[in-house]
Every structure is written in C-alpha cells, then in structure tokens.
Amino acid sequence: MSVNIVITQSRSNSRASSLRRDGSISERLVLLPAPHYPPIPSGSDDGDAAESRQVTLKVLGMVCAACSASIEKAVKRLPGIVNASVAVLQNRAQVVYHPEVVQEEAIREAIEDAGFEASIIEDFGVMETTALCRMRIKGMTCTSCSGSIEAILKRLEGVKKAVVALATEEAEVHYNPNVVNHEELMAAVDDAGFEVELISAGEERNKVQLKLEGVNSQEGIKLIELSLQSLWGVKSVDMSPTGEKVVVFYDPDLTGPRNFIEIVEQSGSGDIQYRATLCTQPGHGGPDRRDEIDRYWKFFLWSCVFTVPVFFLSMVFMYIPKVMHGLETKVVNNLDVGQLLRWILSTPVQFVIGWRFYVGAYNSLRHGSANMDVLIALGTNAAYFYSVYSIMRAATTHNFKGTDFFETSAMLISFILLGKYLEVLAKGKTSEAIAKLMDLTPDTAILLTVNEEGDIVEEREISSQLVQRNDLIKVQPGSKVPTDGLVKWGQSHVNESMITGEARPILKREGDKVIGGTMNENGVLHVRATHVGSETALSQIVRLVEAAQMAKAPVQKFADRISKYFVPLVVLMSLVTGVAWFAAGRTHSYPKSWIPSAMDEFELALQFGISVLVIACPCALGLATPTAVMVATGKGAQQGVLIKGGNALESAHKVKCVVFDKTGTLTTGKPLVVDTKLFENIALRNFYRIVAAAEANSEHPLAKAVVLYVKTLGEERSNERSLETQNFQAIPGEGVHCIVQDKEVYIGNRKLMCEQGIEISEDVQEYLDETEQLARTGVLVAFEKKIVGLISISDPVKPEAARVVSLLKSMGIRSIMVTGDNWGTAKAIGQEVGIETVKAECSPGRKAEEVKKLQLEHKLGVAMVGDGINDSPALVAADVGMAIGAGTDIAIEAADIVLMRSNLEDVITAIHLSRRTFFRIRLNYVWALGYNVLGIPIAAGVLFPSTGFRLPPWVAGAAMAASSVSVVCSSLWLKRYKKPKQLRATSESQLAI
C-alpha cells in the first residue's frame, strides 16, 4: 500500500480562514468553514492504478468539517476506493475508484447512507448556486409531522435537501435561489398547516438588517439608500419599497452596524428625523417556548372548566341519590337532564378547544401521512358521535336506554392538553445550555474613543451588538468581556470556565487574547475587538451545537422507520379490536356478565377500540433520540467538549481504542532547550548564532524552541545583527538545510544525517541514545557535513496524561501512541504515561494507516486525539477524531469532537458523556416502546377475561400523554451529568491549590 499525502493549506492560509464567511474562534478554535483537507488514499489490491476512474458528485447538506469527514469515512470503507476528497464550500466530492470493484451508484448510496444528498455530476463544468434557508416550525407533534414537512419541501422544484428536526422545531433547506425562494418554501410549510417563521435565508455573514422609523416618503428612502451606499466599506444596500427595513452588505474590517445607524440618524434634518435599530432574528438555541407553554396552559384550564363538571356528572353525582334523581329527570322521551348537560358541556371541548387536533389531522392526511392528531381525532370523535347517536335515539324513542361517553372525549382532550403542556415545558429545558451560553454576552459595552496620540478622549456605553472590529472596549472588574479581542492595556484575571470549562481564572496582560462572554474578575482591561457578532468564539460554539442538534444520529433512523407505519397500524389494530369484541359479544363467546350493566356488546367493543387508538403514542418514539442529543451536546459545550452532531456522539460511545499523538497532545507542546553538547572546538556563542540563523526560517516547534533559547542566553547576544541565510530548505519530518556564513548547515534528526551521508560517531550516538532515554529529543547540528553539536530539547509530559491513560484502561479502552518523533523519545514518553504500544517516526499518511489497521484488524471503534496539521489525516480516518482546542485550525476542523481546554481529561469526559447519552437513549426507547408494547394489548382487553381489568379510554389518553413526558424527562436527566469521580476529585484538588 502506497500513501501520498499532500497538504495544500499553509499556516497563513489556515489563519486567513478565520476571516472567511464562517468565522473563527479567536485564532485558537476555527470550527467553520472547512478547508480542502489532504486526501487520505485507501489502497486497494483489487486493481491497478491505470484502471482507476474518477467521479465527481454534488453533495448537499454539509455544514462543517465533521460532515466532510463522515463522508470521506463512508466512501473509503467501500472496497476498490483509491482516493476520496470532499470540499465543503463547493459541495463537491471527488472519488478515484476501481470500476471492476465498485460502481458509481454504490459510492452515491454510501454518501446518502451517511445522511447527505448526493448526485453524480455528468458535466463538472456546470455549477449550480445553492442557498440555505433556516425556518422555525411550530405545531409538529411527532416524527410523522417532521417527515411529512420534509417530503413537502423536497417535492418543490429547486430544493436540493431538506432536514426537519422535531426536537428543535427547525428546518434547514438547501435550495437553488434561481428556481425557488425562501418565501415559497415558507408558503409550502404554511400550506401544510404549520406555523412557520424565518430564521435566516441565503448568505448571512457580513450582512445586517435595520428597522427604520420615520421614513415615509420616496425622497427619504432614496436619501438613506444613497447615504449608506456612499459609506466606505458598504458593498450593497437593499431597501424595502416601504422604507421599513434595509439590508446592508459590508466589509467588517472597514465598517459596521453602528456606523449605519449613525448615518441613518444623521440623514434627517429639521422636523424630519429618522431612527434605525437592529432587527433581531428569531432566537438561537431552540425556540422561545413561553408563548406555546402559555397557550397550552390556557387551553388546559378552559378544558377543565367544562370537563370537570362532565366528570362529576358522570362519575360522582350518580352515587348521590338526591342529585342522581334530579339528573334522571326526563326531558324528551328517554333523554334525561344528565345526558343533556354532558352533551352541552363536552361540545365546546370537542370542537373549540380540540379544534387544533382536527386541523393537525386534516393537514396530515391531506399530504398522505398520519400523525398523533389523527389518533386523537378518531378516538374522541368515535366517543363523541356515538354519544350523540345514543342521546338522539333516547330523545326520539320511548324504550331506548343507551350509554353516552361524553366524559371520555372531554377527559381525553383535557389529559392530552395537560400532557402537551408538560411536554413543551420539559422540551424547553433541553436547549437551556445554548440559551445560557448566549446569555453570557453582556447587553452593553463601554466604547473608548482615542485621538491620534492614543489618549482616551471619550467613553460611551453602547449595545454590545454594535461593537465593530478594531473598536477599543473598556472592560471593568466584575463585568463580562463583550467580544473577542486582544488586551491593549491593563492586567487582570479572567474566568473562562463558562466558555472553555477551565477551572482557574487566567491571567491576562497586554497582547493576550480574551473571549467574549468571559468574566473579568479584577483590574481594568482595554480590549481591541478582533472578532465580532457571528465571528466570536461564543457564536461559533452556539452555531456548532445548533448544527449538532439538527443532525440526526444514525440510531434515530429506527424511530423514523417505525413512524411511517405506526399510525395506520394502530388504526387497523383498533378496528380489529373493536370488531373482535363486538363479534364475540354477538356470538355469546363470553359470558353476558362481563358486560357492565350500563352497556351493551357494541359499547363495550367501542370502548376497547377507542382505548387502543388513544394509548398508542408515536410522539414518544420521535423524541427519544433528539432530546437526548440536544441535552448532551449542550452539556458537553458547558464542560468544554464540543461534539459535532449525533453521529460523533454515537461513534464515541463505541470507542475501544484511543490513539494519541505525542507532541502537543500527550506533551505540553512547548519544547524547551535543556542541554547542549559540542563535539568540536567551537564557541557556544558562535554555534548558536549559526543555529539560530538557520532555525529562524523554520515553523517547526523545535526550531522555535531553539530560537527562543538563543534569545534567553543574553540580551547583548539577542540584539546582535542576525546572520544571512541562503538556500534555506525545510525537509519535512527530518530537519533543515541552508548556507550560513558560507557554511553548509544541516540541523535535524538521525534520519537526515544518514540520508546526507553525514557520519554519526560512536560518541555522538551514545550521547544521542542517552538523551532519548531521558524522553528528550536530540537535534543534531552539522557544519560542512560534520556533526559539531547536539541540542537536547525536552517537551514536558502533561501532568494529567498518565492518569488519563490509566482511567481509559479501567474503562476497557486501549491506549496507543503514534508520533513522528524518534523511537527513543517515543518509548520513553510512552513508558512515562503508561502506554505500552508505541508507533514512532510516522508520517501523516502512516498515522492514518495505523488507525485503519486498528479498525480493520481488531474491529475496534478507534478515536484519534491530535493537535497538528499532520494529525488531520488520522483524525479523518478515525471513527472519532478529537482535536485539542489549542491545536491548529485544520486539525480542529477535521475533528468530530473539539476539546476546548486542551486537557486530556476531556477525552474521558467525551467518551463517558457519550456512553451516558446512549444509555439514556436506549432507556428512552424502552419507555416509548414499553408504553406501546404493553399498553396496546392491555387497552385491547387482554387482561379483561382473567382479571376483569378494563382500561377506560380517558386513562389510556393519560398514559399516552405520560409517555412523551417521561421520555423528555428521561433526556433531561442528562443535565445532571457529572464527570467520572476520579476526574471530579482532580478538579477539586486543582481548585484547592
């Protein structure tokens, strides 16, 4: 197997990605967008390279690097795949394959099985524009509703992909704006009978929408439009015809919303004054459910106003002789007062308060699906209209005495409304984690205005939403940092635990980065804003968690498959139950004594049929997975662990092997020069002047450690003029080569010296071996192809590394180290932290190969933990890629899980949280299926012949409502999640220190 890895993104490009349309996280944490990652070839012995072909596919639904990683994994697991590369921003996948082993259709299906929409592009030159629309949809009750909305949207011409999430009540639609617009998408959802609200449409970055007041003439509209267009940095202005709103596209480096508001307000004169305010989009982090909660509570209270009297008339007053006598007074023929009162009181409940169930059932059936509203409407209507038939017969005949079930329909609706109220109340708590993150941003900020000399001339309080890039912000003690930035003046400790999970306050001084939403504990800071609005770390975290909550975990497919057939099957079971009991009664297959005194065979059968209808609950099945994923991803974010979707969460709980990179992962990533050994007669000063001149051109961490060490040798030396370097060449994985003072200089490892024919004497070899046994890296220095010195560099092991490896072992998880460093240092580090299996001197491609070997040979769920660009291929290849938060942008984007604190203990937290989550998901399915598997037979009367136990329809309705509530409450239990005891004890001891 041959592996060729080509890394196309440089360090500068990586940092430049922080200014692209999807933002960055303070240059430490870039989550979106995903760059083009180096492809990881997957060799095949099934054909020759000459027989391979390439296919290009259009892939829709990708939102971040986790998506591209999952697609690459899915494709590369197919036999006959030579190479696969996915570009998120272009919505393209290129796959090289052997046609005699695998077909293009199989590749396309593999991508669709991963949860994305794929189509083969015949003519790659034809490119289609794709826009994204996000909508809030209210009124969904179960997965049948979300499934029907998805189907409706997908049927629209121009729609490429539609995903509807029941738990978050959101829809994401990828569409061609040249064919369909977001208004038509919203109209389709509205026509389906659901309340819809636009969250965003098209490209939202570097765009702001302002609400205007006082603009009531065409002259005013034109004046404001021209004023905004003339502002430096404004790209385009889209003014509404009525002048109520204006959308401005701009360059955030040059201007921002504060300038737009000031320009609008300055455009007025005399009696004509204009005002502008930011338009707030519907809230992120899940819907604001307060209105929905209030609505259900009011419905329930009004329902009780009518249902409670019906209950007393049917089940209480009948045992009070005097009252019962009055209720049995005849009105017309056999129609008595009690029946008439129950009819009058139950009718508003059935047709006014319960109208929403009719609407939901109608809209569902109109689009060829069936949801929970269908079951409720059928059950309550059967009880109500049979009761109407019964009292009509009683009113028109002298000898008919039937039983009415008005209390059944009224109580059913009341209990279901109570259940929906409790369910919405509980669901509102599933997104509290995101809401709390969003609330971290302060409402206001203190803007400082400085003159040309740098003196502060003005302080004023502004809305934090109006902070622009390069603004100078004053952060007082005890207040929150309003946006990401750099400290320009002052010193203080900042508590970042709410963002990163880091327990201790961190000292911040001039030049340090601060994150928006963190707490300034003491001292005044002046901060220069570097990332604002949706670019901030907090916004990126919220967006990532929201995307994770929208993505469906593979296990959710189980519930989606069941929901398609659930309601029709329940209706059929209800009919069979009713017919069977009626037929058995008419044929005298059971004793007449089984029939209650006030009923006949038909009424008994009707009650059994209604009970089966209303006890079945598809809603609980649909909520089992997404509510748990919502709570878990939010809880993970609070713990400093960002999980990119349900797929990553599901894969993490299967992990049986963790592969660690060494430098920056098991070690601190801050190497230090600890010793120098010279093998030739040369002054240490001159030796390091030449070495520093050569290493100053290298980006390698070891080179930076050498340069930093030279600066600490003495101020007079660091100020000397640097030597000129010529013909500099960095040799990946080996070292550097250049000319300094007419000397040919080689600096690097043993492999470099051997390849260049430089002899390593026994003394040098002995000292190098001793250095590596001390878990240090020996850097050899050769002048004119003769080794003159060895620099010993130590990269300290993280204090928690050994403890983490031990805890993973206790969890039944194997730990392996794969590093590009030399064998001696690697083995010493492995021995220090307790890792027995060590792979050293591995190239990036070799790291990915080692991960694949573990997956194929041992059938293990493999997690890769790394922090560098050279780790990104292995992060993509692993079942779960975990990136250290302080690592490079590419590594973070390639990973499925980001450990924001750069603490290895969070590896355990991520795996432990995923295991707890999937235990909770399984328990949710037990709840949901248990209600239906046990409840339906009991409602059908299987216990009635032996025990005489019969489940009244209103009790069955209460059980149905309780099933959804119990599933959501079960998911909410994850909010109580705590790290394993060993980690909590460590954290407490650190805080004590």
Amino acid type, 229: Q
Report helix, strand or coil for 44.
Answer: coil
- Give the contacts of 901 (CB within 8 A, at least 6 positions apart): 500, 501, 502, 640, 885
Q: List alpha helices for 431-472, DSSP H.
A: 432-438
673 neighbors 705 (Cβ within 8 angstroms) = yes
Q: List alpha helices for 811-859, DSSP H.
A: 823-833, 844-857
Closest among 490, 555, 498 to 523, alpha carbons compared? 490
Strand stretches in 451-595, DSSP E: 456-463, 472-475, 484-490, 492-495, 506-508, 513-514, 519-520, 525-531
- Report the 10 Å Cβ neighbour count for 209: 16
CA 852/CA 858 separation, integer angstroms? 10
CA distances from 31 to 2, 25, 688, 890, 966 (A): 31, 7, 40, 9, 35
617 neighbors 931 (Cβ within 8 angstroms) = yes
255 neighbors 234 (Cβ within 8 angstroms) = yes
CB crowding 6-16: b at 16 or more within 10 Å, else e: eeebeeeebee
CA 132/CA 137 separation, integer angstroms? 16
- Give the contacts of 623 (CB within 8 A, at least 6 positions apart): 166, 167, 423, 427, 924, 928, 964, 967, 968, 971
If you search the block for the tokens 């980001």, which residue do you land on?
898
CA 902/CA 719 separation, integer angstroms? 35
User: What's the DSSP call for residue 480?
Assistant: B
- Report the 10 Å Cβ neighbour count for 495: 17
Catalytic residue set:
661
CA 634/CA 917 separation, integer angstroms? 12
Report helix, strand or coil for 554.
Answer: coil
Binning the chain into helix, strand and coil, the percentages to the nearest 5 are: 50, 20, 30
CA 809/CA 812 separation, integer angstroms? 5
CA 897/CA 548 separation, integer angstroms? 11
- Helix (H) / strand (E) element for 642: namely strand 641-643
CA distances from 874 to 170, 642, 866 (A): 34, 19, 9
Q: How many residues does the chain have?
A: 993
CA 586/CA 581 separation, integer angstroms? 9
Report helix, strand or coil for 884.
Answer: strand
CA distances from 529 to 506, 533, 628 (A): 19, 11, 36
Bridge partners, 508 (sequence order): 492
Per-residue tokens: 683: 């002054």
- Give the contacts of 510 (CB within 8 A, at least 6 positions apart): 487, 488, 489, 490, 491
948 neighbors 608 (Cβ within 8 angstroms) = no
407 neighbors 311 (Cβ within 8 angstroms) = yes
- Give the contacts of 408 (CB within 8 A, at least 6 positions apart): 380, 383, 607, 610, 952, 953, 954
Please give the backbone phi and psi of residue 872, each rounded to the nearest 5 degrees, phi first: -60, -40
Per-residue tokens: 419: 């259940």
CA 986/CA 974 separation, integer angstroms? 22
